[in-house]
Structure 1
Amino acid sequence: MTDWQAFTVEIADHVAQVTLIGPGKGNAMGPDFWRELPEIFRALDADPQVRAVVLTGSGKHFSFGLDLAAMGGMLAPVLADDAKAAPRTEFLKVIRSMQDSVTSVAECAKPVIAAVSGWCIGGGLDLIAAADIRLASADAKFSLREAKVAIVADIGSLQRLPGIIGEGNLRELAYTAKDIDAVRAERIGLVNEVFDDQEAVVAAAHAMAREIAENPPLVVQGIKDVLEQRTSPAVAEGLRYVSTWNAAFLPSKDLTEAITAVFQKRAPEFKGE
């Protein structure tokens, strides 16, 4: 495949490994990530040599989530006090484009196994929610962090996680924006199994991917297609709703305060405005 800025892609023995490499700290998700992710997964979908995919992160962490420094410019027009239909419409397009990027993982005909180590925050959780199977190392930590930065999560966690961890667990994570460790993640079903360290979880993901690849590929793809039909219409409807909601209501003084607090490295003071 081609050279990528936010990923590496390696294919061997019918298994592809897609690795997040940044360039932001902690594999934060900047413009290159959102542009390249669907290109990669649509190429893997079309490649008959690929039968399963392992998705992981380079370095100590899977992903810190959205790269606010790199992506902050997309918020500026819609945060203006006089923002009306035009900037809100453009913002709606941005949200839906980002949604489509992550949805490309769910729509890939080949099963995707996420191998998570270290932090998996915000957009990182959106990403692994779109995978078929999630495995974690003992040091993994997960956070549906958007509420802490005055954002309604809009890239897929709220739509995909109910079927993975259940409504009660999802609502707890979404309302509190709390962090959970690998033990809790396994207990609620967010991950299937926990391994000692990063090397072990990636090895386990590859072992599972090889096991999948040994089965008739069209049958495996058929199973995924049938399973997706149970959930994909509801997910698509939910994504469309939240993108429209955020285009209308996301801009707020609390959001401006959250972004300012991040760059000033202080705790935000939210006022419900």
Structure 2
Amino acid sequence: MAVGLWGLLGRLPPQPFPSGSHSFPSASQCPQPFSIGSQSFPSVSQCPQISHNSQSLPGYSHSFPSVSQCPQPFSSGSLLLPKDSQSLPGGSQSLPSGSQCPSDRLGAAALWVLAQLMLAEAAEQCLPGHSFETLWVMLEQDRVLHVELHHPEKRNAMNMAFWREMVECFQDIGQDSSCCAIVISGAGKIFTAGIDLMGMGSEFTMVEGEDRARKAWNLRRKICEYQETFSVLEKCPKPVIAAVHGAYVGTGVDLISACDICYCAQDAWFPGEDRWEVDIGLVADVGTLQHLPKIMGSQSLINELAFTAHKMMAPEAQSSSLVSRVFADKETLLQGALEVATTIAARSPVAVQGTKVNLLCSRDHPVPKSLRYVANWNMSMLQTEDILKSVQVVMEKKGPEDVPFSKL
């Protein structure tokens, strides 16, 4: 996964070290020394007295030597421990620092590496093909994907990689027939700090071109590319639920306004001291000014927000229809969003995805044209077997979750 192994350790459940099933060879069994600098381990073939099955992880060909083979002390930096923690997954076991427990240092290091390898293997098996630098894609429920903005050390600021990976991610998910609904959230204390101005300032101030016309042409092309980062949420046929906590600043509003459903925690707010685009001399150009008038009921409030960027808290966001539900905290927010996503995913994908397409059509077109569109749509989609299956479970007094709908 793009977030790295420490992200996996923080999300996946701890993998216990089976009692008695793994032991470490003594110095006499493995003549090859353990290298601290390279983090290499002697292979099983170098230890003839040891069984491959009892000494190595499945799929891996390396076992771990005893402390007596390593005269160099173990230091927390040699295995890239995070700065704020020396704990194994779950927090129940901790690794000694370079100055503690000399006789146990290598044993702790070996256990830590063992846990890393096991969890990395489990994560790769979870969602192969969804690997990004700034996004973490997880299968939370059956047919429900959870996409997390995962750059918490930068408050999930939207850097160059993010703008590219959002398009790649949701284009992939849109073609993934095993996914029927999506929840998008942010890692860390806030949802997002908006655009990464420090990392992306040169994108707009140093535009290539021999004259002003060519520079303008190239700049317009870039703006259109960035618009696609959030337009892809609408184009994805699967319903997308935004679960917002903490601040959602600047382009964070563009993101959530492109989602189909938006929930927030009680602590959610925008834009506050970080402001909207208007406070840094920009006209918002990736979706906010186009979406909000069709989401919020008051044009006067929309104008006020766009012109002044006043701080809006969760209750006001709900009363103005920017979000439809407010939860007590991030934990209950994610639980509620995933429950709704699971409910959606239990319905016929032909019906759900067709409903999203037609809702967007009715939003952007007059009623007569939208009616003609849905008539054309249903002249083919009404022939789906999902209707007969759904009627049958209703007659049997069962729910949609009992219908074995085919993938779409």
| TM-score interval, normalised by the smaller of the two chains | 0.7 to 0.9
Percent of aligned pairs sharing the same letter: 37
Please tell me whether residue 64 in structure 1 is matched to residue 203 in structure 2. Answer: no
Gaps of 5+ in 2: 1-128, 367-408
The aligned counterpart of 1:147 is 278
Does residue 137 (structure 1) correspond to residue 265 (structure 2)? The answer is yes
> Scaled by the length of structure 1, what TM-score is found?
0.81
1:202 aligns with 2:334: yes
Deviations 1:190-229 (A, max 9, x none): 1111101111101110000011111111100000000111
* Alignment correspondent of 1:163: 294
Q: Deviations over 1:109-165 (max 9, x none)?
A: 000000000000111110000000000000001237111111000000100111111
Relative to total residues, which structure has the larger strand share, 1 or 2?
A: 1
Amino acid at match of 2:287: G
Once the 2 structures are TM-superposed, how far is the Cα of residue 90 of structure 1 from its aligned partner? 1.3
Shift of the alpha carbon at 1:168?
2.0
**Is the 8 Å Cα contact of residues 64 and 119 (structure 1) preserved in structure 2?**
yes
What is the distance in 2 between the residues matched to 1:118 and 1:209?
Answer: 21
Contact 1:77–1:83 (8 Å) recurs in 2:
no
Determine if contact 2:145/2:179 at 8 Å carries over to the other structure. Answer: yes
Superposed, 1:257-272 pairs within 5 Å as none
Quick one: which of 216, 225, 228 aligns to 1:88? 216
Deviates more, 1:200-209 or 1:143-152: 143-152
Helix, strand or coil for the counterpart of 1:119? coil
Aligned positions of 1:38-117 closer than 5 A: 38-77=167-206, 84-117=212-245
Deviates more, 1:22-31 or 1:45-54: 22-31
Matched residue, 1:231: 363
| SS of aligned partner of 1:97 | helix
Q: Distance in 2 between matches of 1:193 and 1:23?
A: 25
Report how far residue 231 of structure 1 moved: 3.2
Aligned-partner Cα distance in 1 for 2:261–2:328 = 18
> Is contact 1:24–1:67 with CA below 8 Å preserved after alignment?
no
More RCO (CA 8 Å, sep 6+): 1
Larger Rg: 1 or 2? 2
Q: In structure 2, what is the equivalent of residue 7 of structure 1?
A: 135
Equivalent-residue separation in structure 2 for 1:102 and 1:183 (angstroms): 25
Match of 2:311 in 1: 179
SS at match of 2:229: helix
2:320 is matched with 188
Deviations for 1:53-95, whole angstroms, at most 9, x for unmatched residues?
Answer: 0000000111111100111011222599x96112221111111
Take 2:359 and 2:156, find their aligned partners in 1: how far apart are those partners? 30
Secondary structure of 1:86's counterpart equals: helix
The residue number in structure 1 matching 2:156 is 27
Matched residues, number: 233
CA RMSD of aligned residues (A): 2.0
Q: 1:45 touches 1:108 (CA, 8 Å); kept in 2?
A: yes
Flag the 1:233–1:70 CA change in 2: closer, same or farther, 3 A.
farther
SS state of the match for residue 134, structure 1? Answer: strand
